[in-house]
Amino acid sequence: MEVGASTHVGKVRPNNEDGYLVRDGLLAVADGMGGHRAGEVASATALAVLRDYPFGPGDPSAELAAAVQAAHSRVRALASQDPSMSGMGTTVTVARVTGDRVYVAHVGDSRLYLWRAGQLHQVTADHSVAAELLRAGQIDEVAARFHPHRHILTRAVGVGDQLDVDVTDLPLEPGDGLLLCTDGLTALVDDADIARVLLEQPTPQAAADALVELALARGGTDNVTVVVARAD
Ligand code: MN
């Protein structure tokens, strides 16, 4: 797999609470939240747990879910030790590519997309108030896009006792692409524009850079992080 990644603080926020991980077939993004620098600590902690997790020969979906649960426990433990970190949390969207399959674990409103034959498919479901209302049929897509609670998460790594982790897996075909991103991209750049950039840019790194630039050109209202991978 050829992989490119880019992250930027944006044009409004004082610090970058996003992070990403690219290592040995493991791709992840995390978007932290919390006061002071707690958001940065939450996302960096979760990504470090994923980076160091002892993945073995077991069921990849179960291992990936266990890795996210380990990140949840670690972020909670840090928050309980330091009052300034209380309430911190993070999204985690992580993909593990093994041979011709990709395994995905996900919590929050960062996203993973599959890019296949020029079409973009959103694989993960957003865990936000607006997205849950949309799935329940209580509001439409336009209302969801402008909903005052569109950024409020219904699940986050490090928040609450029990964490429900979405896991899924799908086959990869030669030429397929994967895109992982935080909401700093998708709040400003819609799926059609993401697909256009992936089509235009020659390499995953060029695509990641161009997508971040597009979010910045449209205001850069949040931290923005993009990981792009292309299967051989
Ligand atoms: Mn964000």
Q: What is the mean pLDDT of residues 13-42?
A: 94
Question: What pLDDT score was predicted for residue 113?
Answer: 98
62 Cα to the center of ligand 1, angstroms:
27
In sequence order, the 6+-apart residues with CB closer than 8 A to the CB of 97 are: 1, 25, 26, 27, 103, 172, 178, 229, 231
The whole-number pLDDT of residue 76 equals 97
Beta-bridged to residue 182, according to DSSP, are none
Q: Which three-class secondary structure string do you get for the chain?
A: CEEEEEEECCCCCCCCCEEEEEECCEEEEEEEECCCCHHHHHHHHHHHHHHHCCCCCCCHHHHHHHHHHHHHHHHHHHHHHCHHHCCCEECEEEEEEECCEEEEEEECCCEEEEEECCEEEECCCCCEHHHHHHHCCCCCHHHHHHCCCCCCECCCECCCCCCCCEEEEEECCCCCEEEEECHHHHCCCCHHHHHHHHHHCCCHHHHHHHHHHHHHHCCCCCCEEEEEEECC
β-partners of residue 94 are 28, 105
Q: What is the pLDDT of residues 60-96, one digit of tens each?
A: 999 999 999 999 999 999 999 999 999 999 999 999 9
The end-to-end CA distance of the chain, in Å, is 6
How far does the centroid of ligand 1 lie from the alpha carbon of residue 80, in Å? 24
CA of 103 to the centre of ligand 1 (A): 23
Q: What is the DSSP letter of 37?
A: T
CA–centroid distance, 10 to ligand 1, in Å, is 10
Q: How far is the CA of 102 from the centre of ligand 1 (A)?
A: 24
Cα-to-centroid distance, 184 and ligand 1 (Å): 5
- Can you tell me the distance from the alpha carbon of 97 to that of 44, in angstroms, rounded to the nearest whole number? 21
How far does the centroid of ligand 1 lie from the alpha carbon of residue 182, in Å? 6
What confidence score (pLDDT) does residue 150 get?
82
Quote the pLDDT of residue 148.
87
Residue 37 confidence (pLDDT): 87
- What pTM did the predictor assign? 0.96
- Residue 142 burial (10 A CB sphere; 0-12, 13-18, 19+): exposed
Average pLDDT over residues 195-205: 97
Name the more confident of 37 and 207. Answer: 207
Q: Which residues contact 161 (CB under 8 A, 6 or more apart)?
A: none
Separation CA 194–CA 231 (nearest Å): 18
Is 206's pLDDT higher than 90? yes
